[in-house]
Structure 1
Amino acid sequence: MTNILLITADDMDGNTPGSFGGPAEATPNLDRLAMEGMVFRRGHVPAAVCQPSRSALMTGLWPHRNGAEGFEPINDRIVVINDLLKQAGYRLGILGKVDHLQPVERFAWDTAVNMRELGLGRNPAAYGRRAEEFIAEATGEGRPWFLMANAHDPHRPFHGSENERDKWTSEEREFYPEPSKVYDADEVQVPGFLPDLPGVRTEYAQYLSSARRCDDVVGEVLDALERSGAAGETLVVFLSDNGMAFPFAKANCYLRSTLTPLIIRWPGVTTPGTSNADDFVNMLDLFPTFCDAAGLLTPADLDGSSLVPLLLQRREERREQVFTVFHETAAKQRYEMRCVQDARYGYIWNAWADGQAQYRAENMFGLSWKAMLAAAEDDADIRQRADFYVSRAREELYDLASDPECLRNRAAEPSLATVLAAKRNALARWMTETGDPLVAAFDAEVPRELLGSGDK
C-alpha cells in the first residue's frame, strides 16, 4: 500500500510559490516538489478559514454537511479518512495544528505533536526530526503510514512584525529560527487586489518571509522522507488551507480567498514537471484520492471525486467550475457567503450584507487594513474600496479574465444580466443538491423563474 504524506501551509496565498507565479526565490523546496510532480493551477479549498477547511478535507464533505462550519467539532458518526486508513493498517501521525481537527480523539492519531514541540509550529528542523521518527516507527512495525505535517507559517504573527513581538516573549522566539530568506519592503511586489501602500508593502514582506520559513519546513520534511528510503512508495500532497490573512483574501469567497497551491507527487502515477491549468479541483477531492492510493473503497456519499484521472492526464467532465463557501470567522462572527466561479466569471452571494451589518475578521488586524484606512482619508478610490469591504453588496459578479483581482463588481450591469442569471442558477442547483441550509433564503431572494436557463 502507498504511504501518504500530506503537507499543509497555514494561510499561504495560492500565487505565493515561485512555481505558481510568485517571487522566483520565495519557495525553492516547493518549486522542486512541483518539478517532481504535478501542479494544479485551479485548486480551491471549500472554505477560506482553517478549521472548516481542514475538517472538510478530512471528511470529504462540505462544512454544512460535516458540522464544522466554524471552529466547531464535526458531527457524530461522520466518517473521516483516518477511520478507513486505520482499518487498513496504516499508522497515523500529525505534526502541528492538532487541535484544529475536532474532536481530537475522533481522529485517533497514533502520533500527535503539538505546536510547542515544533517551535511554536515554526521550527523546520523539529518538523524534519519528528517526521523521520514517525516514518521509522511505522517502518519498524511493517505498516504503511499517513502523516499530516502542518506548518504554522505563514499564519500571523508574521516574521519580524510587532504582533510577533507582542504575542511571544524573547525566550519563546528562541524556539524557532529566522526564515532562510527574509524579505525587505522595497523588494516585493504587492498583490493587485491590495493597494500599494507603505504599510501594505511592509506587511507583505513580513508575510513572504514567513512563507519562506514554511518552505523551509517543507524541505526538512521531504528530506526526512528521502532519508527513510520510502519516497518511491509515498504519495506527497502539498496545499494551503486558505489564502493569506489580508483584506479581500482569507475569510471570504474571493478568488484569492480559496485558491490554493496544490502540488501532488505520486511516483508511478504523476509525470514529473506536469501542470493542470484547466480543471477546477476542490480539496474535497483528496479524500477519495487517498482512498485510491490506499486501495480502499471510497464511501458513496462524499462530495469530492478522485483526482487520479487528472493525475494520469486524462480528460474528465464536470470540472469547469468550482463552488466555495464561508460561514464563520475565528471570532465566531457569522458572515454567510456562497460562491461559484469558472474560467471567466466569479459570482458571490453575501447573505449577511443587509446595509447595516459590518464585516470584521482577522485579516483586518494587521498593518494593511490600518494603512488602507489612513489612505482612505485622502484617496477616494481607496475609501470606496475600504467601505465596500466592510459592507459589501448582496451580489458580486467579476469578470476574472479582465479583472482577476476582483476590483470591479459588475453584478448590476445590464450587459451581464445573462451571465448573472446563469451563475444564480448554478448556485441554486448546487445549494439544493448539497442540502445547504440557506437554499430557501436564496430561492426567496432570487426566484427561480428569474434565473434563466443557462447553467454556465
Structure 2
Amino acid sequence: MQNGTDRTIMKRNHHVNQPLHPDIVLIHCHDLGRWLNIYGMPNVPSPNIARFAEHSVVFENAHAAAPLCSPARGALFTGMSPYANGIQGLSHNAWRYRENVLTAPERLRPLGYHSALIGLQHENVDPTVLGFDECPGQGFLPRVNQVVDATEDWLSQLAPVGTRDPLFLTIGTWEVHRPWPHEDYSPADPAQVDVPDFLPDNAGTRSDIADFYGAISQFDDGFGRLIAALDVALDSANTMVILTTDHGAAFPGGKSTLRDSGTGVTLVIRPPASWEVAPHRVSNVVSHMDVVPTLIDLAGGGAPAELEGVSLLPMLTGEAEGDPGRLVYSAKDYHDTYDPKRAVRSKSFAYIRNYEPGPKLQLAIDLEKSKTRQSMGDAHMEPRPNEELYDRGIDPAEQYNRAGDPEYAHIKAEYAAALHEWLTSIGDPIDKAPTPPAPARSRVVDSLPAVGRSAAPRATADW
C-alpha cells in the first residue's frame, strides 16, 4: 500500500498474545541545528518543545553525518554514512540510495512494524520508493500546518492499539528552511535574539535571526499540535517519540560546514511512559547513524554489521551514559557546488580534512544572499587550510584552528589516523580521488513499460 486508501493491513496483529512493541514516531524538520531554548538559547520561541523535553531524554552532543539535507537524511534513515548509502548530494540533483541499501521502514517491517510517511522527505524525488507502507500525500505536504492537518486526519482513521501492527510513523516538515518571509512567519524583536559565537553580532545578523525565530515559532506551534494529536491517538505508555532535524542552521559558518554549528543537531527522545525513565540529558557524543540501530533494538532485532551506529537504548533508559571517548564521523561532497571534506569528532576535539582548495567558508546560494552574509565582511573568503583541529574544551564554537600548533601535533595525528581508518573501513576513496557527480537518472530505469500493441494501420487515400 502506498496511498493510504486501504487500511486493512493495519488491523492485523501478530502480537495479540504478546506485549506489543512500542509505536515509534519520528518527527524531523529542516535546518534547525540546536537553536532551541533547551540548548542554551533562552530567547528562542520554543515552549512546546521545552515542555516535551521535560518528559524526555535530551542529547546535548548529537551530530548529523552530513551538513546538507539529503545526505543527512539518508544517513539518518539508513544508519550508514553518505558514501556507504549512496546519497552524497541532493536528491533533486540525481543522488539516490545504492542498490540493496535498506531504509528504516524496510528494517522494521520484518520485525512486525507497519510504516507511514507524512509530509516532507528529501531522500528521493519519488517518496514511494523509500520502503514505507503508506505515503499519504506522496511526501508533498511540506509546511508544518499542512503536515499537522494531514497527520491529525491520518491518526483519526488509525485502528486501535491491540488490533493493529505496531507503527513506525515519520513526520517531516519544510520548516525551518530559508526563506523566512514575513507573509509566512512573524519575526521576533531583533534586540531580543540570541547571537551565537560563530556569527557577528550586528544589525544584519540580528534581523536575520529575528526572521529565523518566526519560522521556529511556527514550527514549535505545529509541534505542540502534533504531540497533542499523537497523545490522543496513540498510547503514550507504549509510544516512543523522537524529535530531530537534518543538520545545522542556515547561517554562514553553520549549515554546509563540518563544525559543530553545521553538524550539531537537535535530538530529543521521549521514551514510552511505561518505562518510567526519569528525564535526563546525555552529554556524550552520538550520531544520527545511531537512530536505525536504536529502532531495530527497540523492535527486538539485531543490528546488521553494515550499520555504522550503535543503539541508544542504554542511554535512553539511564543504564549507561555512553562512551566519553567515542568518535563519530561526518562528510560533505556536493551541495550547489563540489566541496569535499570529512571530519571525525569526539566530545573533546574535532578534526576536519579539506580535500580541495577553496575559501574558508564556501557558502550555498541561500547563505550568500542572507542578511548575515551582507553584514559580515569577506574574511571567510581567505584560503582554507588542508586540516582543521578544534579543542572543544576551550573553544566550543570551533573558531580557532589548532592544526598548526605544535602542542596539538599528537592530537592531530591521532584524529587524522582515525579518520583514515574510517574511510578505509567504508571504502570511501576520497583520499585518492575526487567524488564524481551522481550518475544521471535514466528513462530506461524510470520509464513506464512500453505499450504492447501492433502498429497502427496506415491511412489510405480515398479517391
* TM-score between the two structures when normalised by the length of structure 1: 0.83
In our comparison, the structure showing a higher alpha carbon Rg is 2
- Whether contact under 8 Å (2:248, 2:255) holds in the other structure is yes
Which letter maps to 1:258?
T
**Which residue does 1:192 correspond to in 2?**
197
Cα displacement (A) at 1:270: 6.5
Pairing of 1:7-22 with structure 2 (within 5 A) = 7-14=27-34, 16-22=35-41
Relative to its length, the structure with more helix (as a share) is 1
Cα displacement (A) at 1:436: 1.7
Q: 1:198 to 1:114 in 2, by over 3 A?
A: farther
**1:321-373 alpha-carbon deviations (Å, 9 max, x no partner):** 322111111x2x21111112222222111112268x9834133231111111x
- Whether contact under 8 Å (1:8, 1:150) holds in the other structure is yes
Cα displacement (A) at 1:234: 0.9
Residue 96 (structure 1) aligned with residue 115 (structure 2): no
Of 36, 40, 45, the residue aligned with 1:26 is 45
Of 236, 249, 252, the residue aligned with 2:257 is 252
- Whether contact under 8 Å (1:94, 1:111) holds in the other structure is yes
- Structure 1 vs Structure 2 CA RMSD: 2.4
- Whether contact under 8 Å (1:245, 1:363) holds in the other structure is yes
Q: 1:345 to 1:249 in 2, by over 3 A?
A: same
Cα displacement (A) at 1:293: 2.0
Residue 127 (structure 1) aligned with residue 147 (structure 2): yes
Which letter maps to 1:252?
T
Q: Distance in 2 between matches of 1:117 and 1:422?
A: 45
Residue 406 (structure 1) aligned with residue 398 (structure 2): yes
**Which residue does 2:343 correspond to in 1?**
339
Q: Distance in 1 between matches of 2:317 and 2:192?
A: 39
Pairing of 1:80-159 with structure 2 (within 5 A) = 80-101=103-124, 103-114=126-137, 118=141, 120-123=142-145, 126-139=146-159, 142-159=164-181
**Which residue does 1:397 correspond to in 2?**
389
Which letter maps to 1:197?
N
Q: Distance in 2 between matches of 1:280 and 1:358?
A: 25
Residue 305 (structure 1) aligned with residue 310 (structure 2): yes
**Which residue does 2:70 correspond to in 1?**
51
Of 424, 440, 457, the residue aligned with 1:432 is 424
Pairing of 1:281-296 with structure 2 (within 5 A) = 281-296=286-301
Q: 1:88 to 1:400 in 2, by over 3 A?
A: closer
**Which residue does 1:205 correspond to in 2?**
210
Of 411, 414, 419, the residue aligned with 2:411 is 419
Q: 1:27 to 1:242 in 2, by over 3 A?
A: same
Which letter maps to 2:406?
P
**Which residue does 1:217 correspond to in 2?**
222
Q: 1:116 to 1:64 in 2, by over 3 A?
A: closer
**Which residue does 2:362 correspond to in 1?**
359
Mean CA deviation greater in 204-213 or 130-139? 130-139
**1:291-313 alpha-carbon deviations (Å, 9 max, x no partner):** 12222332232111111111122
**1:230-267 alpha-carbon deviations (Å, 9 max, x no partner):** 22211111111000111111011011101111111112
- Whether contact under 8 Å (2:103, 2:131) holds in the other structure is no
- Whether contact under 8 Å (1:74, 1:103) holds in the other structure is no
Q: 1:298 to 1:345 in 2, by over 3 A?
A: closer
- Whether contact under 8 Å (1:35, 1:272) holds in the other structure is no
Q: 1:360 to 1:21 in 2, by over 3 A?
A: closer
Cα displacement (A) at 1:47: 0.4
**1:207-248 alpha-carbon deviations (Å, 9 max, x no partner):** 111112111121111110111142221111111100011111
**1:81-133 alpha-carbon deviations (Å, 9 max, x no partner):** 11133344433222222354455232243432559974x5132xx33332233
Q: Tell me, what secondary structure is at the counterpart of 2:332?
A: strand
**Which residue does 2:86 correspond to in 1?**
67
Q: Distance in 2 between matches of 1:99 and 1:351?
A: 26
Q: 1:345 to 1:229 in 2, by over 3 A?
A: closer
- Whether contact under 8 Å (1:37, 1:263) holds in the other structure is yes
Q: 1:348 to 1:99 in 2, by over 3 A?
A: closer
Q: Distance in 2 between matches of 1:190 and 1:24?
A: 10
Which letter maps to 1:153?
E
**Equivalent pairs, count:** 405
- Whether contact under 8 Å (2:23, 2:166) holds in the other structure is yes
* TM-score between the two structures when normalised by the length of structure 2: 0.81
Q: Tell me, what secondary structure is at the counterpart of 1:74?
A: coil
Mean CA deviation greater in 53-62 or 132-141? 132-141
Mean CA deviation greater in 21-30 or 103-112? 103-112
**1:126-177 alpha-carbon deviations (Å, 9 max, x no partner):** 33332233334342562221111112111001142xxxx6xxxxxxx5xxxx
- Whether contact under 8 Å (1:96, 1:151) holds in the other structure is yes
Q: Distance in 1 between matches of 2:112 and 2:308?
A: 25
Unpaired runs of 5+ in structure 2?
A: 1-20, 435-463
Q: Distance in 2 between matches of 1:137 and 1:318?
A: 45
Which letter maps to 1:150?
G
**Which residue does 1:446 correspond to in 2?**
none
Which letter maps to 1:30?
I
**Which residue does 2:266 correspond to in 1?**
261
Q: Tell me, what secondary structure is at the counterpart of 2:295?
A: helix
Which letter maps to 1:295?
G
- Whether contact under 8 Å (1:82, 1:108) holds in the other structure is yes
